[in-house]
Structure 1
Amino acid sequence: MNRLFPYCMSSSAVLPDSGGSAARDLAVSAAAAHTLYVTVGNDRIGYRRFGRGPMIILANRLRGTLDTWDPLFLDELASRYTVVTVDYPGIAYSTGKMPDAMAMASKFIDEFANAIGAERFVILGWSWGGLVAQTYLLEHTQRVTQAILIGTNPPGHNEIPLQQVFLERAFKPVNDLADEEVLFFEPASEASCAQAKASHERIYARAGVASRIPSTPDEFAPYFTAAQGFHNDEERRRERMEQVDLPILVIAGDHDTSTAGQNWFPLIGKMRQAQFVFLSETGHAPQHQYPALVSGYIHEFLSKTSLDSRK
């Protein structure tokens, strides 16, 4: 039985309704969802939209594409919410240039939300996308109802750095299942490895997944540059995270070799409306190891921090 460590503080927010557009969303699975396109600036941006209900926009990890989210996790979310996944400019299905600063990535999310007609929404960020989500919620607080941060670091200096075992595998042109066990799961746990295999098979059931994953040093560089700026924190985002009056859920694994969940310990108790879920024997992708469990935590958080639920 996995141990969970929740840290909760009082919360209130408005959970948005995706409005009339929700009625036009197709009730399809994530695996069957078609890629849609919208113009953002001069770029043709690929995205997918499915499900019913309030909207969640997902910001992806380093090297992540529309195809690399676990479809079971997305389906669990889509049973209650309108789920929107998107490729950053220059990545996979999108044209353009990948942002090399978090402010630029945040600006992209804002312009993308405008392009698809989203007014207020939940922002969910995983890993590098969690850095994007934090930047966005600080810069566009009025558009975000709640934020969900999965397997990511807070701004500024963190005591536990990226581990060498992660670096040895993260930038191979193609990662196999053995790599994914180290990168996203807990290889010392048989149960975690079993979930890694199941998640891998779900993801790669779609044709052509590997061919669209960024695989060259030039493609990696913008991610590094933006992340370094986030951790240098000249914008004082860490301090501002303590003041933001917005419900935030952080979900982390205790064996994350990339963005250690323990890095949140000094900050989480200073935040105004924060909840923290810490899962044992879990790595960098808790939502892929426990799709139903994590989506359940997300739903509980969103429903209980909605102003509507407090009336």
Structure 2
Amino acid sequence: MSHQPAHEVPNQFVECNGRRLAYRVIGEGRPLLLCVRFRGTMDSWDPLFLDALAEQGFKVHVFDYSGLGLSGGERSYDPARLARDALDLIGALGLQRVVLGGWSLGGIAAQLVFLQAPQLLSHLVLFGTTPPGELVRTGEALFYQLARRDNDFEDFVHLFFEPLSDDSRAAAARSAERIASRRQGQCPPVPYEWAGQQLGEGPRNPALPVPPLLDALKRTRIPVLHIGGSHDIVFPVESWHALSGVLPTLHLLTLPSSGHGPHLQYPQVCARYLATFVESEGAA
């Protein structure tokens, strides 16, 4: 490994628009910014996934949303506010032609960044998130139970993996161990009581009711990749499959016996696939 490992890179901070955003950088190369999931912090990314991306030639940026983790400011799960965090960080760090990624709620934020400032992006990469518009299948009630409580390993399996698969369970154990490997500068967890209050009672359809976003995705020349698990209890991947003939630049990768965190179960596969997608699909 030619770069400092993801679980050892230092925390960095930048002042922008009245609050201090915390971020980390792994590797050197093409700028890649990742927006994290609901109840996630920088520590929620699997270090092996980040290291594998760095080895593929990306300069990987992860960050904490305002008021969460190590970032200052007012906390909110309004997706527009999360998108503003990403836009402000891109501006503060002077990033250009960014490969923008987002996982779950972070994928919603990334799509709003794309809608507001497509000129900043070269590619859009989404993990386990929802498309805009009507969904052919909504999430499961189980997610809303798990998302409101302090989670143990069994919850981790049910949230992000496929609990009926022995291979997926084994991958969950490996990923959890890697995620826990940071020894210094850890992020405080997002308070689950507060986060649960932001959720609503159950799945909504559409989950992302922004008609201009769907129109923009239909017209864009920016390549879009969604990486999903075969059994995602939060945002079932079938809703992306339904758009495969509708969105002209959409690539779909659905990984077997996996859940809401396909890049936790298949970190190196996802990093290599992402790199191949970016290399082969140069945005016009």
Does residue 152 in structure 1 map to residue 104 in structure 2? no
Distance across 1 between alignment mates of 2:96 and 2:232: 34
Q: How many residues are paired up?
A: 281
- Give 1:109's aligned amino acid: A
Give deviations 1:80-132, integer Å, cap 9, x for gaps. 11000000001110011134433332222111111112122100001110101
Structure 2 counterparts to residues 286-305 of structure 1, below 5 A:
286-305=262-281
User: Cα distance 1:98–1:171, how it changes in 2: closer, same or farther (>3 A)?
Assistant: same
Give deviations 1:6-65, integer Å, cap 9, x for gaps. xxxxxxxxxxxxxxxxxxxx9211011110000121111110012011010000000110
Distance across 1 between alignment mates of 2:168 and 2:53: 21
Q: Is the Cα contact below 8 Å between 2:30 and 2:58 reproduced in 1?
A: yes
Distance across 2 between alignment mates of 1:295 and 1:232: 26
Distance across 1 between alignment mates of 2:18 and 2:144: 34
Shift of 1:221: 4.0
- Give 2:252's aligned amino acid: F
Aligned to 1:6: none
Of structures 1 and 2, the one with the larger relative CO (CA 8 A, separation 6+) is 1
Q: Is the Cα contact below 8 Å between 1:259 and 1:284 reproduced in 2?
A: yes
Aligned to 1:278: 254
Structure 2 counterparts to residues 175-190 of structure 1, below 5 A:
175-190=151-166
Shift of 1:232: 5.5
Q: 2:113 aligns with which of 136, 145, 150?
A: 136
Distance across 1 between alignment mates of 2:208 and 2:98: 28
User: Cα distance 1:161–1:307, how it changes in 2: closer, same or farther (>3 A)?
Assistant: closer
Does residue 200 in structure 1 map to residue 176 in structure 2? yes
Aligned to 1:256: 232
User: Cα distance 1:155–1:71, how it changes in 2: closer, same or farther (>3 A)?
Assistant: same
Shift of 1:208: 7.8
User: Cα distance 1:303–1:156, how it changes in 2: closer, same or farther (>3 A)?
Assistant: same
Aligned to 1:233: 209
Shift of 1:177: 1.2
Q: Is the Cα contact below 8 Å between 2:30 and 2:59 reproduced in 1?
A: yes
Q: Is the Cα contact below 8 Å between 1:98 and 1:222 reproduced in 2?
A: no
- Give 2:123's aligned amino acid: Q
User: Cα distance 1:232–1:249, how it changes in 2: closer, same or farther (>3 A)?
Assistant: closer
More helix by share: 1
Q: Is the Cα contact below 8 Å between 1:70 and 1:199 reproduced in 2?
A: yes
SS state at 1:180 partner? helix
The TM-score normalised by the length of structure 1 is 0.84
- Give 1:114's aligned amino acid: G
Shift of 1:235: 4.5
Aligned to 2:78: 101
Which blocks of at least 5 consecutive residues in structure 2 are unaligned?
A: none
Distance across 1 between alignment mates of 2:206 and 2:90: 22
Alpha-carbon RMSD: 2.3
Does residue 60 in structure 1 map to residue 4 in structure 2? no
- Give 1:41's aligned amino acid: N
Distance across 2 between alignment mates of 1:301 and 1:221: 37
Aligned to 2:68: 91
Which blocks of at least 5 consecutive residues in structure 1 are unaligned?
A: 1-25
SS state at 1:31 partner? coil
Q: Is the Cα contact below 8 Å between 2:79 and 2:105 reproduced in 1?
A: no
Distance across 1 between alignment mates of 2:155 and 2:186: 14
Distance across 1 between alignment mates of 2:185 and 2:230: 28
- Give 1:126's aligned amino acid: W
Aligned to 2:26: 50
Distance across 1 between alignment mates of 2:124 and 2:85: 17
Distance across 1 between alignment mates of 2:51 and 2:120: 24
Shift of 1:222: 4.7
Aligned to 2:145: 168
SS state at 1:187 partner? coil
Q: Is the Cα contact below 8 Å between 1:214 and 1:220 reproduced in 2?
A: no
Structure 2 counterparts to residues 70-85 of structure 1, below 5 A:
70-79=46-55, 80-85=57-62
Aligned to 2:100: 123
User: Cα distance 1:255–1:229, how it changes in 2: closer, same or farther (>3 A)?
Assistant: closer
